[in-house]
């Protein structure tokens, strides 16, 4: 599904990723943990194609295609979804209209018929119910006036509607209370835990992994992966911190 080899990336001419390699197969959920400044968000933005994140070496392929050679909207149409640590507000833009336009743009790029109004409304209701989100919130401007937890739940509704192959979720647990964390975790499992999909979870804490159990946990330090293990590695990090593992690496 995703194969990253020796990836180097800079931001404002500062090296951040320094030879990162990672392979994620279909049907797998991987978690990346690490201290602040390790390069976790840089990895997500580089894969998503955000301007200002320059790839200086290495490669990234999704389903055998050169991901880094695609424009951001083509990466999305190919099945990549990027969940942001801080979802943006878009005043004056209807949430549900935004979601319909995004879904139909991707369907058009794949040569599929656009959703009719009735079909899309049915889909939106289904995904909103999955995240326990009131349909009235989908009629408001995108994320405007939403709490941190509501923004993350809205983003998961978006993920459900777009139905990606690969979801890269950058600190989706940030700003969530206990109830919202469980709802978002259940949503990720319902939408993305499938044999033809994959997830890369970027997180500081083990708590999200109580709900979305990963197949592999990776420790990212100084721009590269320094240790890989199973779910027990996340618990070890929670107990011991990153310093000992990073120093040993």
pLDDT per residue as tens digits for the range 3-57: 999 999 999 999 999 999 999 999 999 999 988 888 999 999 999 999 999 999 9
The whole model's pTM is what? 0.91
State mean pLDDT over 157-164: 94
pLDDT value for 72: 92
Quick one: pLDDT band at residue 202, thresholds 50, 70, 90? very high
138 Cβ contact partners less than 8 Å away, ≥ 6 residues apart: 95, 96, 99, 124, 128, 154, 157
Three-state secondary structure of the chain: CEEEEEEEEEECCEEEEEEEEEEECCCCEEEEECCCCCCHHHHHHHHHCCCCEEEEEEEEEECCEEHHHCCHHHHHHCCEEEECCCCCCEEEEEHHHHHHHHHHHHHHHCCCCCCCHHHHHHHHHHHHHHCCCCHHHHCCEECCCCCHHHHHHHHHHHHHHHCCCEEEEECCCCCCCHHHHHHHHHHHHHHHCCCCCEEEEECCCCHHHHCCCCCEEEEEECCEEEEEECHHHHHHHHHHCCHHHHHHC
Of 68-72, 82-86, 156-160, which gets the smallest average pLDDT? 82-86
Q: Are 170 and 202 in contact (CB under 8 A)?
A: yes
State percent of the chain over pLDDT 70.
Answer: 98
Per-residue pLDDT band for 175 (boundaries 50, 70, 90) equals confident
Q: Output 195 or 238, whichever has higher pLDDT.
A: 195
pLDDT in tens, 56-76: 999 999 999 999 999 999 999
Average pLDDT over residues 185-210: 92
How far is 81 from 83, CA to CA, in rounded Å? 7
Question: What pLDDT was estimated at residue 246?
Answer: 64
**Mean of the per-residue pLDDT values of the chain:** 91
Give the model's pLDDT for residue 248: 61
Average pLDDT over residues 152-172: 93
Predicted confidence band of residue 249 (pLDDT cuts 50, 70, 90) = low
Based on the number of CB atoms within 10 Å of its own CB, is 236 exposed (0-12), middle (13-18) or buried (19 or more)?
Answer: middle
How do residues 94-135 score in pLDDT, each as one tens digit? Answer: 999 999 999 999 999 889 999 999 999 999 999 999 888 888
Q: What's the rounded Cα separation, in Å, for the pair 22 and 221? A: 14
Q: Given this model, what pLDDT does residue 236 score?
A: 87
Q: Please say whether the beta carbons of 82 and 168 come within 8 A.
A: yes
Residue 178 backbone class (left: φ over 0; alpha: ψ -120 to 50; beta: rest): alpha
Q: Tell me the average pLDDT across 160-174.
A: 92
d(CA 136, CA 153): 14
241 pLDDT band, cuts 50/70/90, is: confident
- Given this model, what pLDDT does residue 200 score? 97
Q: What is residue 31's predicted lDDT score, i.e. its pLDDT?
A: 96
Mean per-residue pLDDT for 229-245?
85
């Amino acid at each position: 599904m995703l194969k990253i080899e020796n990836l180097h990336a800079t931001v404002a001419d500062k090296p951040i990723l320094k030879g990162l390699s990672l392979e994620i197969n279909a049907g797998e959920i991987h978690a990346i943990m690490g201290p602040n400044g390790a390069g976790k968000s840089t990895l997500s933005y580089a894969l998503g194609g955000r301007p200002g994140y320059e790839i200086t070496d290495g490669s990234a392929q999704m389903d055998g295609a050169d991901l880094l050679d695609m424009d951001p909207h083509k990466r999305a149409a190919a099945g990549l979804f990027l969940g942001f640590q801080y979802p943006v507000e878009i005043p004056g833009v209807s949430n549900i209209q935004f979601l319909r336009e995004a879904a139909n743009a991707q369907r058009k790029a794949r040569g599929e018929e656009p959703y009719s109004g009735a079909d899309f409304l049915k889909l939106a209701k289904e995904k909103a119910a999955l995240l326990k989100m009131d349909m009235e919130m989908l009629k408001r401007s995108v994320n405007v006036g939403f709490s941190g937890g509501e923004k993350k739940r809205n983003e998961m509704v978006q993920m459900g509607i777009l139905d990606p192959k690969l979801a890269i979720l950058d600190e989706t647990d940030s700003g969530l209370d206990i109830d919202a964390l469980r709802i978002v975790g259940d949503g990720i499992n319902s939408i993305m835990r499938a044999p033809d999909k994959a997830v890369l979870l970027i997180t500081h804490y083990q708590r999200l992994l109580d709900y979305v159990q990963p197949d592999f946990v990776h420790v990212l330090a100084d721009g590269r992966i320094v240790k890989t293990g199973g779910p027990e590695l996340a618990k070890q990090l929670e107990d011991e911190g990153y310093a000992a593992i990073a120093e040993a690496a």
